[in-house]
Amino acid sequence: MSDWYMLTFVGRDRSGIVAKVTSAIFEGGGNLGEASMVRLGGNFTIMLMVQYDGSGESLEKILSPVCDALKLWKHVDRIEGELHHHLEPDVRISIYGADRAGIVAETTGALAEAGLNILNLESDVGGTADTPIYIMEIDGVAGKGIDVLETALDRLAREKNVETRLVPIDTLMG
Amino acid sequence: MAVLDILTYPDSRLKQISRPIKVIDEALQQFISDLEETMLAGPTSAGIAAPQVGRFERLVIIDVSFKPNIPNHGRLVLINPEIISHEGSVVGREGCLSVPDFTGNVSRFERIHLKASDRAGKTQDYDMLGYEARAVQHELDHLDGLLFLDRLVSRRNSLFRRKVHNQVDLPKQ
Ligand SMILES: [Zn+2]
């Protein structure tokens, strides 16, 4: 049975990164799983599950030429990975406000205490250089129920001067 | 009575357009009973469409009455259903009996006015809202060979608004 690896790539964004990296993996005998690929601050970042019948060292060798050519920093970790084990989020939380040090730590800290298990978090900095704003969207599982999260969000809004919104996710199966 | 097999994507038959039903006869009644039994036998679902079991006719069953405190019409058999008008749009998460182990966000009309024949062949119309309206739109898509995968909205940078008025989404074909 093949092992799963988590591959991380970071480099200056340029066209063709995804195609070239995934081609190298495919031609080297790797099988792609779940992935997150996004441009962050002018860099392109990839986190990618790959199933590969060989050692981490030989996987690194397969990746080296494409990473050198594209000037990508890479990292390979063997993981305990499995596909078809998605957790369903039951809540989406949006938080935004004037950007300042500690905003993410404070908000996610309070939410963790209120039972939130984060499945997906996307955040961005908008506004202007002088008055940046921080925007965060989280999909997660409300481990202690939605009421507890609502209370925590109300307190955050009051004490930390951020705007918060919680929308229950009611997945329709049909 | 029988529990029917559910087609799952990438079975290409799920992408075909179903034909209108012209005659409501005993054979169709039997099929409706089987489809209902199939819906109840699987994981809790808000509805099922005939093409999901390989019968390419314009018939769906919906039932969202298992959800507490939402407006609904109970269990409905909808034959040749048609959305007459719609209002608003709202993003919500959907999964599908024909697409195992994946869910995603889809934009749907918030309110619809629906016309369909019932099991007895009588034309009925319904005003539907929210979750029930979403269930109908999901099932009607199956009749046109569309899956929720055809309508995914991006997770990143998608505005997740409960209500967006003055913005009308046209069904894309
Ligand atoms: Zn479906």
CA B48 from centroid of its chain's CA atoms: 7
Q: What's the pLDDT score for residue B155?
A: 63
In three-state secondary structure terms, B71 is coil
Sort strands B47-49 and B59-62 into parallel, antiparallel or unpaired: antiparallel
Of A46, A79, A112, the residue at which a domain comes to its end is: A79
Residue A153 lies in a domain: yes
A134 to chain B, minimum CA–CA distance in Å?
A: 13
Residue A169 has pLDDT above 50, yes or no: yes
Q: Which chain A residue's Cα is nearest to B63?
A: A174
Residue A111 to residue A33: CA distance in whole angstroms: 30
Instruction: For helices A17-27 and A56-70, give the axis angle rounded to 10 degrees.
Output: 150
Cβ contact, residue pair B102, A86, below 8 Å: yes
Cβ B98 vs Cβ B8: under 8 Å:
yes
Sort strands A91-98 and A43-52 into parallel, antiparallel or unpaired: unpaired
DSSP 8-state assignment for residue B56: -
Average pLDDT of adjacent 10-residue blocks, chain B of 173 residues: 95 98 98 98 96 98 95 97 98 96 96 98 98 98 98 66 40 46
Whether residues A100 and A164 fall in one domain = yes
Residue A86 lies in a domain: no
Cβ contact, residue pair B103, A84, below 8 Å: no
Cis peptide bond upstream of B10, omega within 30 = yes
Cβ B81 vs Cβ B136: under 8 Å:
yes
Whether residues A71 and A111 fall in one domain = no
Cβ contact, residue pair B48, A174, below 8 Å: yes
- Model confidence over A121-133: pLDDT tens digits? 999 999 999 999 9
Whether residues A127 and A158 fall in one domain = yes
Q: What's the pLDDT score for residue A1?
A: 63
A98-110 residues labelled b (16+ CB within 10 A) or e (exposed): eeeeebeeebbeb
Cβ B143 vs Cβ B79: under 8 Å:
no
- Token digits of residue B152: 């995914």
Number of domains in chain A: 2
Residue A79 to residue B59: CA distance in whole angstroms: 46
pLDDT band at residue A2, thresholds of 50, 70 and 90?
confident
A-chain residues near B135 (CB < 8 A) = 172, 174
Of A25, A55, A79, the residue at which a domain comes to its end is: A79
Q: What's the pLDDT score for residue B167?
A: 41
Whether residues A55 and A107 fall in one domain = no
Whether residues A116 and A145 fall in one domain = yes
CATH assignment of the domain containing A164: 3.30.70.260
Q: Which residues pair with A154 in a beta bridge?
A: none
Residue B71 to residue B132: CA distance in whole angstroms: 7
Residue A85 lies in a domain: no
E-only strand ranges, chain B:
47-49, 59-62, 76-96, 99-117, 123-129
Name which of A86, A137, A172 is nearest B131 (Cβ-Cβ): A172
Residues A113-118, mean pLDDT to the nearest whole number: 98
Whether residues A13 and A57 fall in one domain = yes
Whether residues A107 and A70 fall in one domain = no
Of A42, A57, A79, the residue at which a domain comes to its end is: A79
Residue A107 lies in a domain: yes
Residue A173 lies in a domain: no
Question: Residue A95 CB: number of other CB atoms within 10 A?
Answer: 24
Residue A21 lies in a domain: yes
A138 to chain B, minimum CA–CA distance in Å?
A: 10
Cβ contact, residue pair B156, A88, below 8 Å: no
Q: What's the pLDDT score for residue A85?
A: 86
Q: What pTM, to 2 d.p., does this model score?
A: 0.88
Q: What's the pLDDT score for residue B171?
A: 52
Q: What is the residue range of A72's domain?
A: 3-79
CA B59 from centroid of its chain's CA atoms: 10
Residue A84 lies in a domain: no
Q: Which chain A residue's Cα is nearest to B136?
A: A174
Residue A57 lies in a domain: yes
Output the CA B142–ligand 1 centroid distance in Å: 7
Residue B53 to residue B25: CA distance in whole angstroms: 19
A77-89 residues labelled b (16+ CB within 10 A) or e (exposed): eeeebeeeeeeeb
Cβ contact, residue pair B95, A173, below 8 Å: yes
DSSP 8-state assignment for residue B120: T
* Domains (range + CATH), chain B: 12-82+111-146 (3.90.45.10)
Whether residues A7 and A74 fall in one domain = yes
A63 to chain B, minimum CA–CA distance in Å?
A: 28
Whether residues A95 and A137 fall in one domain = yes
Whether residues A98 and A159 fall in one domain = yes
Name which of B46, B102, B162 is nearest A174 (Cβ-Cβ): B46
Q: Which chain B residue's Cα is nearest to A124?
A: B157
Residue B140 to residue B48: CA distance in whole angstroms: 10
- Model confidence over A42-86: pLDDT tens digits? 999 999 999 999 999 999 999 999 999 999 999 999 999 889 888
Whether residues A99 and A146 fall in one domain = yes
Percent of chain A having pLDDT more than 70? 99
The answer to whether the Cα torsion of A146, A107, A42, A72 is positive or negative is negative
Whether residues A8 and A49 fall in one domain = yes
